[in-house]
Amino acid sequence: MTKWKIVVDSGCDLPQLEERSAELAFVRVPLTITVADQVFVDSEDLDIDQMMAAMAASKEAAQSACPSPQAYREAYEDAENILVLTITGGLSGSFNAARVAREMLLEDKPEVNIYLLDTLSAGGEIDLLVLEAARLIQEVGEFEGVVEGIRDYQSHTKLLFVLSKIDNLVKNGRVSKLLGHMVGLLNIRMVGEASDEGKLELLHRPRGHKKSLQAVQTELEKNGYQGGRMVLAHRKNDKFCQDLIAQIQKEYPQADIRVLPTSGLCSFYGEEGGILLGYEC
């Protein structure tokens, strides 16, 4: 029996949580991505390159599926205090599955402390929340204090996304074929944010690399970023990450910026070159 456990779905890009105390376990419950007749489980050993190649080759839209309540119920085992952080309910049923599993757990073990957080986000912002949760567990240690701390922290974080490709959105019918063609033809980027309701909202359509960097900088400044922690989760877009870091550190040399490859699920949403950037504000 461990004292603490953080449970996430694969909307979190962290395959493991290295910076944690001996009293804390970390469990990642994978979603699945279906491409034509292939099913990819977003576990630590997923070949994301293979999945992305299959998505690009398929004429059909790829689909994601949330974990089952039973998968979450198994993840909750053997812990006294549990924090569960899921991808936004606006994109997935993962939070609802986690909630059903919580009810199952408490029927069997009513003494367990368990708190569910719909992050209303994905990618880099979830990564930030998980890192902060681990810090709070180590420094606060008391369940209600940790819950209060992570809820307060969530109110001071945001997510920006930058999409270079929107092929799967076109295949899903979420955006028009014309817009998808224009994005590719004119080198347009889609820059947006996760809203307070957990929906992904488009803010800018800059053309080219430099203007997309400028759009991100504009949003960071507008929302009060002052050099705090940031997680840049990206799908094979090192150049954007490097250039954005250099741009930020000109003004905020102390900025604590972590770069991670996107999970399978976040690669599915962000597509090739996509960025899911979480930051403190």
Per-residue pLDDT of the chain (281 residues; tens, 9 = 90+): 899 999 999 999 999 998 777 899 999 999 999 999 999 999 999 999 999 999 999 999 999 999 999 999 999 999 999 999 999 998 899 999 999 999 999 999 999 999 999 999 999 999 999 999 999 999 998 999 999 999 999 999 999 999 998 888 778 766 666 666 666 666 889 999 999 889 888 899 999 999 999 999 999 999 999 999 999 999 999 999 999 999 999 999 999 999 999 999 999 999 999 999 999 99
Q: Are the beta carbons of 43 and 30 closer than 8 angstroms?
A: yes
Kindly report the backbone phi and psi dihedral angles of residue 195, in degrees, each rounded to the nearest multiple of 5, phi listed first: -75, 175
Work out the widest C-alpha separation in the chain, in whole angstroms. 58
Q: 156 with 278: CB under 8 angstroms? A: no
Residue 78 burial by Cβ neighbours in a 10 Å radius (0-12, 13-18, 19+): exposed
CA distance 225 to 238: 22
pLDDT of residue 174: 63
Question: pTM, whole model, 2 decimals?
Answer: 0.94
Neighbours of 136 (CB within 10 A): 20
Q: For 120, what's the count of Cα atoms within 13 Å in the CB-facing half-sphere?
A: 14
CB-CB neighbours of 206 under 10 Å: 20
